[in-house]
Every structure is written in structure tokens, then in C-alpha cells.
A and B are shown apart, each in its own frame.
Chain A
Amino acid sequence: KQEVTQIPAALSVPEGENLVLNCSFTDSAIYNLQWFRQDPGKGLTSLLLIQSSQREQTSGRLNASLDKSSGRSTLYIAASQPGDSATYLCAVNPGRRALTFGSGTRLQVQP
């Protein structure tokens, strides 16, 4: 059974810092991996999707990497802003089935 772990569980940083969120998964047979953002009490917003054949994806200040063989992904946020404060969720897709989610990293960026 696939298990997804996210470290750290919570993170508080001052504005402007670069930061890295970690995601690990136990079964490397994945179709792709997706990073989401969730604001309190809200739904999920997709940030980045990495296919199993890719190493990284970038969108603005966000960069996500994938090392499928070692079961790891990282989300890098450059020059963090207070508006980045949210919970970040990593989810793996086994292929044409539901996603398996990590427990999330709760990020607070202090102005």
C-alpha cells in the first residue's frame, strides 16, 4: 500500500526566505506526482504536476523535483511571501485511480 510522508509538518519563516518542502513515497510505481495548495477551510489548488518521466517542473517562484527511484519529491519556494501561507499537500497518482495524499506541510510566512 502506498504511503506518502511530508516533512516538516509545519514551518514558519520570515518573508523573503527560500524554503524546501519534502515529500517521500514508498512505492515508486507512480504515474505522476502533484503538489497542491490548500487555504484554511478551502478546496485544493493544483500547483505543479510532474510526470514520472520528468525530473522537475517550474512555475514562477515554485520548482518541484522528482526522484522516482528513491521515492522523493521536493517543492522549492523562492523568495517566500506572506501570501504563500497555506498548507501544501503532495499527492501521488498510481495511474487512473485516486490520489494518495501526504499529511501536508503547514507554512506560515511572517511579514
Chain B
Amino acid sequence: SAVISQKPSRDICQRGTSLTIQCQVDSQVTMMFWYRQQPGQSLTLIATANQGSEATYESGFVIDKFPISRPNLTFSTLTVSNMSPEDSSIYLCSVEDSPNYGYTFGSGTRLTVV
């Protein structure tokens, strides 16, 4: 199954700053997904990132706040911009490994905004 390397694993950031999260996959994948998990909550999809096109954002998430890059089939970044304490969450990337293996997730980025 695919292996995803996600960085950083955690960070503490000042409000008003931005953080870029990276995900590197050890195989080529068409779609990558970015999720947010707020404290005590389940996962909410932020956007779907396809190589060579703009990401598709879910309701409640906008490109100015969460810009995404997908320069090739193995890599993607999510930036959390102009952060506030409400952005404190775990952010996870995911890929569909294969129909037989399901979806694989990165180890997550635990973000605390102070």
C-alpha cells in the first residue's frame, strides 16, 4: 500500500501567520484529499487536489484561507493562512491507495495557534 510522509508533525504558531503542510506519497496518485479534524470532532474534507488543475473546495473552505498546490502526482501542500486560534486542529492528507486497499492517510499535522 502507499506510504505518505506528512510534515510537520506538529507546530505551534502565532495568530496572523501562515503554515504550509507537505505530503509526499511514494507512488503516483491522481487525487489527494485534505481533511481537518477539530478537537474532539471527526474528519471534515477541506478540498480535493488534482494534479494540473485547481483544487476543489468543500462548502465552508476557501482558497484564500487554504491554498493548495499539487505540482506533480506524488506531492501536495496545504497552507493555512492568516491563522487564528479557531484553526487549531489536526490536518491530514489522504490518497486512494487502490480499490483493494482503500484509502491511506498521512500521520497528521497537529496545529496549535496561540
- Contacts from A to B (Cβ < 8 Å): 31-32, 34, 36, 41-44, 46, 49, 51, 89, 91, 93, 96-99, 101-104
Interface residues of B in 87-114 (CB under 8 A from A): 90, 92, 94, 96, 99-108, 110
Q: How far is the CB of B80 from chain A (nearest CB, A)?
A: 17
User: Which of B6, B35, B43, B105 has its CB near the most chain A CB atoms (within 10 A)?
Assistant: B43
Q: Which of A49, A89, A98, A102 contacts B33 (CB 8 A)?
A: A98
Q: Assess whether B42 is in contact with A41, with CB atoms less than 8 Å apart.
A: no
Q: How far is the CA of A92 from the CA of B96 in the complex (A)?
A: 12
Interface of chain B: mostly helix, strand, loop or mixed: strand
Q: Assess whether B108 is in contact with A42, with CB atoms less than 8 Å apart.
A: yes
Q: Assess whether A34 is in contact with B108, with CB atoms less than 8 Å apart.
A: no
* A-B contact sample (6 more), CB < 8 A, given A32-B102, A41-B110, A93-B103: A43-B106, A44-B43, A44-B105, A49-B102, A91-B43, A96-B96
User: Given the complex, which residues of B lie within 8 Å of A89, measured CB to CB?
Assistant: 42-43
User: Given the complex, which residues of B lie within 8 Å of A32, measured CB to CB?
Assistant: 99, 102
Q: Assess whether A41 is in contact with B41, with CB atoms less than 8 Å apart.
A: no
Query: If A102-B42, A103-B42 touch, does A41 touch B104 (CB 8 Å cutoff)?
Result: no
Q: How far is the CB of B108 from chain A (nearest CB, A)?
A: 4
Q: How far is the CA of A34 from the CA of B107 in the complex (A)?
A: 17
Residue of A nearest to B44 (CB): A101
| B19 at the binding interface (Cβ < 8 Å) | no
Q: Assess whether A43 is in contact with B6, with CB atoms less than 8 Å apart.
A: yes
User: Given the complex, which residues of B lie within 8 Å of A93, measured CB to CB?
Assistant: 96, 102-103
Q: How far is the CB of A62 from chain B (nearest CB, A)?
A: 14
